[in-house]
Structure 1
Amino acid sequence: MNADKKVAFYTLGCKLNFSETSTIARDFTDEGFERVSFEEPADVYVINTCSVTDNADKRFKSIVKSALKQNDEAFVIGVGCYAQLKPEELAAVDGVDLVLGATEKFNVISYINDLTKNDRGEVHSCEIEEADFYVGSYSIGDRTRAFLKVQDGCDYKCTYCTIPLARGISRSDTLSNVLKNAQEISERGIKEIVLTGVNIGDYGKGEFGNKKHEHTFLELVKELDTVPGIHRLRISSIEPNLLKDETIDFVSQSDSFVPHFHIPLQSGSDDLLKKMKRRYLKGTYTNRVQQIKAKMPDACIGVDVIVGFPGETDEHFLETYNYLNDLNISYLHVFTYSERPNTEAVNMDGVVPKKVRSKRSKMLRGLSVKKRRAFYESQIGSSRTVLFESENKEGYIHGFTENYVKVKAPWNPELVNTLHNVTLTKIDEDGLVRFDFAEEKITA
């Protein structure tokens, strides 16, 4: 029935969304749909939404317009976090036909027997308390790297965050299913797996609100390390209070897990961390960085930080800036605080003007450039392993070392999805690293 039908996907937001989009896409291809690029005419367009920032919400309308330019009769579906939080708002966007909330998005196929466009978007959503089951997923769109979802939801109550409202309670995949998915990824010739979830350090909580941990994150890491054919395993993001010494020790000795950690900080001020209801103070964060660097001096450490949170004075911001400037980290992901409905922070005093938020964001982005450059410079002269990616970007092929240094070489299709030992030689004008091949490739 669907043999001549085409489907296209657009994903906003995080690695977790990308892994879930891939799983939904496989359901469509199993039903006979042909997957095409979002820039091509299709019969169905699926947009996986994000609601972490205002910008992600606003982009949805323009993405719908882009889809309808390709085919004004296309059936347009919205899924994901924004679809759970604001289903009616999303359904009211011109051209949207179907909106699926947190529990329905993995059953999208069952909702599209008829692809006739609707006058208004049809909504199928749930109370978020009903999102108490787990659906595993992984992305395989990139030949070199896959995002493997191991956990979903969050039990934390950070005062700025809507994710618990959009994704529900913390729950995890079974260890056996994670290993099965990892094996499937390996059999496709993919060399690197990035572990993803909302709060992956909380891995082990079962379905239906079962708070007992069946397995720990450390047990997950140890088991994944044994999957044959996967050359690299990368931990995408982990809370500092959940990154234990034992995990750091294991990664430092692992053949597969790479020396790269992304650890949310959010603020370098203990006053603001308390207002945010984070589960650690600055001292814990400092300790985690020191522990990593003691075991893995060349490890890359990325940091999430929020600017402009209510009550953030100039003194608070400078405390954060100076803390990060002095800390032995490699780059920053800077988020400008935006007011989100149904969060505690939206009612807090001390609103920071938008212009001030923007200025502080620019300062921290500048610091990130400086930090990344310093980290890259510290790696010049060292021998590293590069996994080359599949895209030809203006005559160059790019790749990442195990410790997340981005490198480039003149385009050569034979390098795609291969691992090579290289010596990092210099930093180009664009901030990327040039290298010399140290020896023949490690693996095909």
Structure 2
Amino acid sequence: MNEGRPQDPAAPAVFVKTYGCQMNVRDSEAVLHRFLLRGYRIARSEEEADVILLNTCSVRDMAEEKACGKMAALRARKRLHPGLILGFLGCMAQRRGAELLRQFPEADLVLGTQKFHEAPNLVERIRASRTASAARSSGEPLRILDVEAEAGSQNQIRDHLPFSRKASAFVSIMQGCNMRCAFCIVPVTRGPERARPMEEIEREVRALADQGVREVTLLGQIVNLYGRREFPTVRGRSPFVQLLERICSVPGIARVRFTSPHPIGFRDDLIAALRDLPALCEHVHLPVQSGSDRILRAMGRGYTRSRYLGLVDRIRAAVPEATLTTDIIVGFPGEEERDFAQTRALVEEVQFDQAFIFRYSPRPGTSAAALGAQVGEEEKRRRNQELLALQDEIALRKAKRLLGREVEILVEGESRKSPHRFQGRTRGNHLVLVRAEERWRGELLPVRLVETTGHTFYAEPVLAEEPAS
């Protein structure tokens, strides 16, 4: 992660590479802000960095493998530049701790999820120890491990880079999770559920609006359970809905999103908010994980297939234009072909706009990792591909129905694949590409959808006619 503005070229440079979810992206930005306050500059690449930190993910084994592979690849660079400081941050650092220092002797720092705000201080300690060791020409280099819990750590992820020029921003409203789903490592890596005060969140959003941000996405592991232990329900409105009302009323914020909710706790007050709050976008990411009651029970999800489908019906009845996306795991231990068939049938019935489909990955420390009847990798791969093909068909069919429609997008900036196009998203979270014109950056732009791949739309701007001279 890097951001560009004139910075002191003599200052030490830090580079943060982020793996995983939006919460990790948000955490990395907060870490970089802390380094700026300590006089560092943000490196444009690993090659110019004096400090390289890997902000890691533990949700799936592949995410950990990528981070470990990157650290191993950095060994050669450290041999050439012995003063380079390398570190692990985040979920994998929290889970594996001292093991990472043993496995990677080139790593100087392992910092857990409740200590992000300490990263600059600890890096400075490491740099100072090296200077002292060099002066003495002796001594082992200082290496630091800190994965301890810290009260109030959820309130530390609040600062944003002051020069990012972003039209949208992530806002962390809580940390941790108490649900204990059988497949999920997050309660171990992020700790118990902890909410930030509503007033602090609102102040953060107001400051973002003052910087030109038009859209915020509220982040929480189970975002709709925000504040359920800290704040009371008021007139039938949960703390999360109360927070949504406050954020949707902030001047300058045109759009509000949230991710990810859980079907448990997704009640009528939240459905009413989706219907009634103009700034709240008509997009719900609602993880289902499986369409089989037997597997849902083994996962510890706390709802049944019929309850999930009933929730979908209530959302669509209240907000007919809502887009619905989901997460699905195939190959959970004990999943038989009949269970997979029920998941496939649920996908066909719901007609999701998008689905993120994952092969089950055993995570040490979760109850599912100890279960028997693990599904073979080849079978997991087959089920994954079959479900992906089905969802791609559904997405393309639904997307084609939108062609010719006029929609509003928030123009985010350059497309990742083409410098000649800008990308933006509809209120329903569809990705849309338009030709690049600087005057549209950060603006809400009406466009007409003219082409689609099923996952990406191409559009032409709908511009007001110039007045006749």
Say whether residues 1:51 and 2:58 are aligned partners.
yes
Q: Paired residue for 1:204, among 227, 231, 236?
A: 227
Any stretches of 5+ residues in structure 1 without a counterpart? none
Q: Per-residue deviation at 1:37? A: 2.7
In the aligned structure 2, how far is the partner of 1:70 from the partner of 1:301?
A: 45
- 1:96 corresponds in structure 2 to 107
Alignment of 1:254-293 (within 5 A): 254-293=277-316
Checking the alignment, whether the CA contact within 8 Å between 2:392 and 2:454 is kept in structure 1 is no
Q: Secondary structure at the match of 1:366?
A: helix
- 1:30 corresponds in structure 2 to 37
- 2:429 corresponds in structure 1 to 404
Checking the alignment, whether the CA contact within 8 Å between 1:385 and 1:419 is kept in structure 2 is yes
Checking the alignment, whether the CA contact within 8 Å between 2:95 and 2:188 is kept in structure 1 is yes
In the aligned structure 1, how far is the partner of 2:223 from the partner of 2:105?
A: 37
Q: Paired residue for 1:124, among 146, 150, 158?
A: 146
Over residues 63-104 of structure 1, what are the superposed CA-to-partner deviations in whole Å (9 max), with x where a residue is unaligned? 224555666331012111111110122223142101112332
- 1:105 corresponds in structure 2 to 116
Mark the CA change 1:120 to 1:270 in structure 2 (over 3 Å): closer, same or farther. Answer: farther
Mark the CA change 1:39 to 1:370 in structure 2 (over 3 Å): closer, same or farther. Answer: farther
Q: Per-residue deviation at 1:440? A: 4.2
In the aligned structure 2, how far is the partner of 1:256 from the partner of 1:85?
A: 38
- 2:137 corresponds in structure 1 to none
Q: Per-residue deviation at 1:383? A: 2.2
In the aligned structure 2, how far is the partner of 1:68 from the partner of 1:372?
A: 43
Mark the CA change 1:431 to 1:303 in structure 2 (over 3 Å): closer, same or farther. Answer: closer
Q: Paired residue for 1:434, among 442, 447, 458?
A: 458
In the aligned structure 2, how far is the partner of 1:94 from the partner of 1:375?
A: 51
In the aligned structure 2, how far is the partner of 1:283 from the partner of 1:21?
A: 39
Alignment of 1:41-440 (within 5 A): 41-67=48-74, 72-73=81-82, 74-92=84-102, 93-113=104-124, 114-115=126-127, 121-126=143-148, 133-137=153-157, 141=164, 143-205=166-228, 216-392=239-415, 393-394=417-418, 395-427=420-452, 432-440=456-464
Q: Which range is displaced more, 363-372 or 220-229?
A: 363-372
Q: Secondary structure at the match of 2:288?
A: strand
Mark the CA change 1:430 to 1:304 in structure 2 (over 3 Å): closer, same or farther. Answer: closer
TM-score w.r.t. the length of structure 1 is 0.91
Over residues 406-440 of structure 1, what are the superposed CA-to-partner deviations in whole Å (9 max), with x where a residue is unaligned? 2112222222211111222332x585323333334
Q: Per-residue deviation at 1:39? A: 3.7
In the aligned structure 1, how far is the partner of 2:121 from the partner of 2:112?
A: 14
Q: Secondary structure at the match of 1:387?
A: strand
Mark the CA change 1:338 to 1:282 in structure 2 (over 3 Å): closer, same or farther. Answer: same
Q: Per-residue deviation at 1:262? A: 0.4
In the aligned structure 2, how far is the partner of 1:63 from the partner of 1:216?
A: 41
TM-score w.r.t. the length of structure 2 is 0.87
Question: Please, what is the CA RMSD of the aligned residues?
Answer: 2.4
Checking the alignment, whether the CA contact within 8 Å between 2:195 and 2:227 is kept in structure 1 is yes
Over residues 110-162 of structure 1, what are the superposed CA-to-partner deviations in whole Å (9 max), with x where a residue is unaligned? 21223267768431222x5x566422425555612211100110111111111
Mark the CA change 1:306 to 1:424 in structure 2 (over 3 Å): closer, same or farther. Answer: same
Checking the alignment, whether the CA contact within 8 Å between 1:203 and 1:213 is kept in structure 2 is no
The aligned amino acid for 1:437 is P
The aligned amino acid for 1:290 is D
Checking the alignment, whether the CA contact within 8 Å between 2:329 and 2:359 is kept in structure 1 is yes
In the aligned structure 2, how far is the partner of 1:327 from the partner of 1:94?
A: 50
Mark the CA change 1:246 to 1:432 in structure 2 (over 3 Å): closer, same or farther. Answer: same
Over residues 31-77 of structure 1, what are the superposed CA-to-partner deviations in whole Å (9 max), with x where a residue is unaligned? 10001234442111121111000011111122224555666331012
The aligned amino acid for 1:291 is R
Checking the alignment, whether the CA contact within 8 Å between 1:10 and 1:38 is kept in structure 2 is no
Mark the CA change 1:55 to 1:23 in structure 2 (over 3 Å): closer, same or farther. Answer: same
Over residues 224-260 of structure 1, what are the superposed CA-to-partner deviations in whole Å (9 max), with x where a residue is unaligned? 1111111111112100122212212222222211101
The aligned amino acid for 1:308 is G
Q: Which range is displaced more, 372-381 or 311-320?
A: 372-381
Q: Per-residue deviation at 1:337? A: 0.7
Any stretches of 5+ residues in structure 2 without a counterpart? 1-7, 131-139
Checking the alignment, whether the CA contact within 8 Å between 2:173 and 2:201 is kept in structure 1 is yes
The aligned amino acid for 1:97 is D
Please tell me whether Structure 1 or Structure 2 has the larger radius of gyration of its CA atoms.
2
In the aligned structure 1, how far is the partner of 2:331 from the partner of 2:166?
A: 39
Q: Secondary structure at the match of 2:87?
A: strand
Over residues 147-184 of structure 1, what are the superposed CA-to-partner deviations in whole Å (9 max), with x where a residue is unaligned? 11001101111111111011111010100000011111
Aligned length: 435
Mark the CA change 1:3 to 1:229 in structure 2 (over 3 Å): closer, same or farther. Answer: farther
In the aligned structure 2, how far is the partner of 1:31 from the partner of 1:54?
A: 34
Q: Per-residue deviation at 1:15? A: 0.6
Checking the alignment, whether the CA contact within 8 Å between 1:201 and 1:239 is kept in structure 2 is yes
The aligned amino acid for 1:233 is V
Q: Per-residue deviation at 1:308? A: 0.7
Q: Per-residue deviation at 1:292? A: 1.8
In the aligned structure 1, how far is the partner of 2:458 from the partner of 2:113?
A: 44
